[in-house]
């Protein structure tokens, strides 16, 4: 397990971002120490983090990403974003 600082370096993100993702329910730490409140992440969670980062890079909102990660229809969300990007290009 990795403490938040180590995990942020491995995932190439900030500690602030990881805390935010925890608070909004996008990426919860595998374990939180009940005495120190230190967050601990696993190597497997790097995949989740990279998925979130990829979806953010294409402009999806946290709400949309949360829906995709929860198993909602990712295809319709991505098609909607594609249409938005095409509309931006056309203007």
pLDDT of 33: 95
Q: Is the pLDDT of residue 72 over 90?
A: no
Q: Is the pLDDT of residue 73 over 90?
A: no
Angle between helices 74-90 and 62-69 (to 10 degrees): 150
pLDDT in tens, 31-68: 999 999 999 999 999 999 999 999 999 999 999 999 99
pLDDT of 27: 96
pLDDT of 91: 81
Q: Is the pLDDT of residue 86 over 90?
A: yes
> CB-based contacts of 1: which residues, under 8 Å, 6+ apart?
30, 31, 40, 41, 42
Q: What percent of the chain clears pLDDT 90, i.e. is strictly above it?
A: 92
């Amino acid at each position: 397990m990795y403490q938040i600082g180590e995990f942020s370096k491995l995932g190439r993100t900030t500690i602030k971002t990881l805390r935010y993702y925890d608070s909004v329910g996008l990426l919860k730490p595998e374990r939180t120490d009940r005495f120190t409140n230190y967050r601990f992440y696993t190597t497997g969670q790097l995949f989740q983090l990279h998925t979130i980062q990829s979806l953010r890079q294409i402009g999806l909102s946290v709400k949309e990403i949360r829906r995709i990660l929860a198993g909602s229809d990712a295809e319709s969300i991505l098609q909607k974003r594609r249409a938005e990007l095409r509309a931006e290009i056309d203007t």
